[in-house]
Structure 1
Amino acid sequence: MSVSSCCISGFTWQGTPTGRTDKLANNDVYIAGDNPDVAILFVADLFGWTFPNVRLLADHFAREVGATVYVPDFFGGEILSPELLAADKFDQLDLPNFLSRNGREPREPEIFESARALRQQLGYKKVGAVGYCYGGWASFRLGAKEHEAAPLVDCISIGHPSLLTKKDIDEIAVPAQILAPEIDPVYNAELKLHTFQTLQKVNVPFAYQHFPGVAHSCFIRGDENKPGERAAMVKGKNAAVAWLRQYLKDQ
């Protein structure tokens, strides 16, 4: 269970997010879309809820799935600087202390509370979870069997997860989509194999999609100027849209 330098590598995309900001539970949140019945809880990667790529992708999901997408701030207002990312100054990012404040145990309760708010306070009939890198473990936990009596989400879609454990995978109880880059020291071969084998045993609908030749972070921070990575970003986004539509709109 770890993160590595690949979790903070990549490139920002072009474009201007078109959503709005508000509150969800007690957290600041970016919101895209306006469907009153279908929501997506988007748990951002280590660059957080203000990262332009995250908001642009949320806008895509809102338009193409036909949902209201919520991207909460789960890092207490902290932001890992995109400027350091662009300048390749990864050594200036204090990841150990950042994760001590914003790791699994400190943040899981408010992630759960945000999902509950979508159903109980805002009245959404269908809720999906999306997570890349840091958001991967959180999405698995949102879909865990411990919530079966009152499900927090109806499906999950994740890409190149970090901080994920075999126990998280073992306990999934909702339809799960996994987008897996070939080159990924965090979501490694052992975890990939465990995912594929376990999801067959626990008898939930799942889709496991392998992306050859691309690395961890490609779906959210890939270099759109590299043909292979741009193709992976587009393919990954389209796969997630189709999955979310299937379980949030078409049933």
Structure 2
Amino acid sequence: MSCPDCFSGHINPGTPQGHVTALHGLNVYVAEPSIPATEVKGIIVIIPDAFGWEFVNNRILADHYAEMGKFRVYLPDFMHGTAAPVWSINTIRSVMKTGSLYDWIVKPYHIANAIYGFVPFVFHNRAPKSHPIVKSFFESLRLSPSPPDKDLPIGAAGFCWGGKHTLLLSHSSSTTIASGVEKPLIDAGFTGHPSMLVFPEDIENIVRPVSFALGDSDMNVGAKEIAVIQRVMEGKEELGGEVRVYVGAGHGFCVRADLAVEDSSRQAKEAEEQAVGFFKRCFENI
């Protein structure tokens, strides 16, 4: 289940540099590196947090991945317009305030707003309903018959809500036929502060390389769950995955960190570097 941390955080400054197009049946934000198309190293598909494909933080993250890794990055509207509204970040902040009598008086109003903003997202984007949409996009991407996407390695980067889908894509059932050969839907996956995981199954079923960025103060994946991830992934060393735990980081630190806070900004940047470096290493071996 989602918790308030899934809908909290900070909106980052900046202007996305990519463009919007329609691809494989979905609206998609596209970030391209400043190199010739023939030199692109691979494709990264961002499966976003609850705030979806239009959230400025997610689009700026796509831009960073594109330029840092020389990847083509897709950020699709997997939620079909039912992402949590960005204004709900401030609503959650107001719900959690307890410093004055006024905070308690207006709390019912903010709780009602939170329910209004969150319930449609939760209802429409349950994993059994949303994963077929995600999987279909990756199938179409893998089957792309012509450039610029044909035969490029594919990675999935999932955050919070998207982390669940990244792990599902990494399971053994996620295969398709491309060029007459059975291929996985993704060559590698990265997930930052995933949510709604089933333990230990979602970890035990991984058969593709996956990199985890986890915060040790995350209420969704706590110390017990981190220990399970570490233990299971140690037994899958041959896959080339990795688990990194960020001390003091909470849920959302990869996407919604307060960049005005030095430690938060540093950890968000390090998580970007972790993801880009991991995909580079995986793609070089394909």
Q: TM-score range by the shorter chain?
A: over 0.9
- Which structure exhibits the higher relative contact order, with contacts defined as CA atoms closer than 8 Å and separated by 6 or more residues? 1
Q: Which amino acid aligns with 1:14?
A: P
* Cα distance in structure 1, aligned partners of 2:225 and 2:58: 25
Is residue 6 of structure 1 aligned with residue 5 of structure 2? yes
Q: How much does 1:177 deviate? A: 0.4
**1:175 matched residue in structure 2:** 209
Q: Determine which of 64, 67, 73 is the counterpart of 2:68.
A: 64
1:11-51 residue CA offsets vs partner (Å, 9 max, x unmatched): 01111001111122211111111646611111000000000
Aligned length: 250
**1:230 matched residue in structure 2:** 265
* Cα distance in structure 1, aligned partners of 2:87 and 2:71: 31
Give aligned-pair identity as a percent.
25
* Cα distance in structure 2, aligned partners of 1:120 and 1:54: 26
1:213-240 residue CA offsets vs partner (Å, 9 max, x unmatched): 1211111001001111111111111111
Q: Determine which of 145, 154, 158 is the counterpart of 1:131.
A: 158
Question: SS at the partner of 2:246?
Answer: strand
Q: Contact (CA 8 Å) 2:44, 2:73: kept in 1 or not?
A: yes
**2:196 matched residue in structure 1:** 163
* Cα distance in structure 1, aligned partners of 2:120 and 2:284: 40
Q: Contact (CA 8 Å) 1:44, 1:71: kept in 2 or not?
A: yes
* Cα distance in structure 1, aligned partners of 2:133 and 2:85: 23
CA RMSD of superposed structures (Å)? 1.7
4+ aligned runs moved over 6 Å, structure 1: none
Which structure has the larger Rg? 2
* Cα distance in structure 1, aligned partners of 2:67 and 2:120: 36
Q: Which amino acid aligns with 1:201?
A: G
Q: How much does 1:89 deviate? A: 4.7
1:70-129 residue CA offsets vs partner (Å, 9 max, x unmatched): 111111112322223135356323334421211101110110111112220242420000
In structure 2, the CA distance between the partners of 1:153 and 1:17, relative to structure 1 (3 Å rule), is: same
Is residue 114 of structure 1 aligned with residue 147 of structure 2? no
Gaps of 5+ in 2: 96-110, 176-181
Is residue 141 of structure 1 aligned with residue 175 of structure 2? no
Is residue 23 of structure 1 aligned with residue 44 of structure 2? no
Q: Determine which of 238, 244, 256 is the counterpart of 1:221.
A: 256
Which moved further from structure 2: 35-44 or 81-90?
81-90
Gaps of 5+ in 1: none
Q: How much does 1:200 deviate? A: 2.2
* Cα distance in structure 1, aligned partners of 2:130 and 2:151: 23
* Cα distance in structure 1, aligned partners of 2:28 and 2:255: 18
